[in-house]
Amino acid sequence: MFTRRTLGGLALLPFLASRTNAGALRTSGPTLRVPEDFATLGEAVAQLPAGGGVIEIQPGAYREKLIISQPDVHLRGMGASPEDVRIVWGDSARTTPGLSNASTLVASGDGFRASNLTIENDWSIQNTDPSQAPALFLKADRAVLRKVRLLGAQDTLFAGSRNPLAPCRQYFAECYVEGHVDFIFGNALAFFDRCHLHVLDHGTGFITAHSRTAEAETSAYVFDHCRITTAGAGRYYFGRAWRPYARVVFLHTQIDGRIDPEGWREWTPGTTRTFETASFVEYASTGPGGDMTHRVAWAKTLTAPDVANWRLGRVFHDADWLQERPHGV
């Protein structure tokens, strides 16, 4: 049986984000409506001023690729559920150079928000050749996504940063993210709150591939009270370290699917040794896959007092930007 190291008394607070949130409470900006005011989402984005605004989207499938660079752009699905508004495209790394170019939606403007809609890359549905095909490429600070569905296969969600020494802060609440290989990847300081993570049928699958490159960097992925489901009979893991100092935390996870008993895997077993510096943490998992007694020896567990350091208010302790705004979502 493998044993785990305990992070009892570990001082985690120095890494938590404490940058200025100037402009976080913006309350002005136009509200544009699709398709009432503009036939396409791209036309609406192009008409937003430099300070951003809200785009209200009526139910329907919008097959287009979006690039949003303005700050404080808010996409609001106006349907009864996230399934009613679907933004979809089908590029991949095979069809266009660079993962951002292959993404259905790229958002780099700080203060980006989205709610009650679906962002999808359907490359894996339209093509049999496997390829990296992100649905959302997110490099925005103070980003908030609520009740958003992110659909893809490999590399579904890039939650990343422009500057690794000042990671983008990103908050996902009650979102659904599906994929199979490294389908949440990047180097943001991202908090997933009550989200549903679904692993598609695949031989081997990884939920996360975090890319923290140095101990001084303050990024991490934190999953709090999330649920994991899986399809098929493959070997599925919480994640592997894309870069040597990857940091991923799973708290109170309901595991209803087939997470491998070891939990985590080396990036390339027998070749890389990222496990020596990566920080993979789990606490109080439950459900059929929640048995933590057979995790890899280098996985970590928290003591109950340490868990408080990974709660939302400590990870984002300057979190006025999480609040609702009169013209936001």
Q: Is 306 helix (H, G, I), strand (E, B) or coil?
A: helix
Handedness of CA 232, 199, 207, 163 (dihedral sign): positive
Given the residues 91, 122, 141, 182, select the one marked as catalytic.
182
For residue 328, the Cα-to-chain-centroid distance in whole angstroms is 20
Helical spans, DSSP H, in 36-190: 41-47, 99-102, 123-126
Given the residues 155, 224, 260, 306, select the one marked as catalytic.
155
As to burial, measured by CB atoms within 10 angstroms (0-12 exposed, 13-18 middle, 19+ buried), residue 288 is: exposed
Nearest to 212 by CA among 164, 169, 249, 170: 164
Nearest to 239 by CA among 195, 266, 208, 198: 208
Number of DSSP helices (H) and strands (E) in the chain, helices first: 5, 25
As to burial, measured by CB atoms within 10 angstroms (0-12 exposed, 13-18 middle, 19+ buried), residue 49 is: exposed
The answer to whether residue 260 is catalytic is: no
Q: Which residues have CB under 8 Å from 106's CB, separation 6+?
A: 66, 67, 68, 100, 137, 139
Report DSSP state, residue 289. T
Dihedrals phi, psi of 276, to nearest 5 degrees: -70, -25
For residue 38, the Cα-to-chain-centroid distance in whole angstroms is 29
Instruction: Tell me the C-alpha to C-alpha distance, in Å, between residue 132 and each of 5, 29, 291, 313.
Output: 34, 35, 31, 34
The answer to whether residue 84 is catalytic is: no
- Active-site residue set: 155, 182
